[in-house]
């Protein structure tokens, strides 16, 4: 029996992938149009209301129609590696979007407030866009387990990040962050914190007490004096990369 991966993107690791990373290629709930040089999403897609997985990655798409709001059963949507400058409000109507939303490698500067309703979503990737601030809607996605914001222009992380209490991985590599909020330490399940390539000058001492932190990555950060608490963090088993 042939099987196809539901996405060519790097999926989150561990057991989370095992249950949703592969589906039968005959499954009518899966549509992969990855790298088809479409330029524009075919209108026929928006009649496929049975779809649970839709992959439109790497197609030079410049816009997405409001009709995407019809696909109420979508669990996973991949719009990565396109040329989108915005996504429609109707994306927030996808109540069953629980697994993955890939928006990385586009030209996005903002997300519509309507996406705050995606409060079942577990994985969001907005990396390699042009965000100068994290969109407010993200802080309502309280079931997020993994958030990837690599390669943007973020200068600060709001204290509201503490609302994402289920977050296990936070990837902030290659932004313009000089510090982090104290509220970051209120994320009880955070295991990986990737801060590579940021011009950090200060880290909250409270990071040392984050109970489940397993990896703190500070490589390519040459503006930060080594915090005194690093040794204690390593001593309790957290891998620290400097």
Section 185-193 average pLDDT = 96
Section 200-208 average pLDDT = 95
Buried-exposed string 185-218: b where 16+ CB fall within 10 A, e elsewhere? bbbeebbbbbbbbbebeebbeebbebeebeebbb
Q: Which domain holds residue 50?
A: 3-241
The CB density around residue 170, as the number of other CB atoms within 10 Å, is 22
Distances (CA, A) of 231 to 172, 218, 227, 238, 239: 23, 14, 9, 10, 10
- pLDDT of res. 168: 98
What is the DSSP secondary-structure string of 175-200? S--S---GGGGG-TT--EEE-TT---
**What would the pLDDT profile of 48-106 be if each residue is shown by its tens digit?**
999 999 999 999 999 999 999 999 999 999 999 999 999 999 999 999 999 999 999 99
> Mean pLDDT in the chain?
91
- CATH number, position 135: 3.80.10.10
Pairing state of beta strands 3-5 and 22-24?
A: antiparallel
Number of domains in the chain: 1
Name which residue leads in pLDDT, 1 or 191. 191
Rounded Cα distance between 239 and 230, Å, is 10
**What would the pLDDT profile of 132-159 be if each residue is shown by its tens digit?**
999 999 999 999 999 999 999 999 999 9
Would you say residue 22 has pLDDT above 90? Answer: no
- pLDDT of res. 32: 97
Res. 7 pLDDT band, cuts 50 70 90: very low
């Amino acid at each position: 029996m042939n099987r196809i991966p539901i996405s060519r993107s790097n999926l989150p690791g561990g057991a989370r992938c095992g249950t949703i990373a592969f589906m039968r290629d005959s499954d009518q709930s899966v549509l992969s149009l990855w790298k088809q040089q479409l330029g524009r999403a075919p209108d026929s897609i928006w009649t496929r209301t049975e779809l649970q997985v839709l992959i439109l990655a790497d197609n030079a798409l410049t816009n997405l129609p409001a009709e995407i709001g019809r696909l109420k059963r979508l669990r996973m949507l991949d719009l990565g590696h396109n040329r989108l400058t915005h996504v429609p409000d109707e994306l927030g109507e996808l109540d069953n979007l629980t697994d993955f939303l890939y928006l990385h490698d586009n030209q996005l500067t903002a997300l519509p407030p309507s996406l705050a309703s995606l409060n079942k979503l577990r994985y969001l990737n907005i990396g390699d866009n042009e965000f100068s601030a994290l969109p407010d809607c993200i802080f309502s996605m309280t079931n997020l387990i993994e958030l990837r914001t690599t390669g943007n222009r973020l200068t600060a992380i709001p204290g509201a990040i503490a609302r994402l209490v289920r977050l296990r991985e936070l990837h902030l590599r290659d932004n313009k962050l000089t510090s982090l909020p104290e509220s970051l330490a209120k994320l009880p399940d955070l295991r990986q914190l990737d801060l590579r390539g940021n011009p950090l000058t200060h880290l909250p001492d409270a990071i040392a007490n984050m109970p489940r932190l397993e990896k703190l990555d500070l490589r390519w950060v040459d503006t930060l004096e080594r915090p005194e608490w690093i040794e204690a963090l390593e001593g309790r088993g957290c891998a620290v990369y400097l």
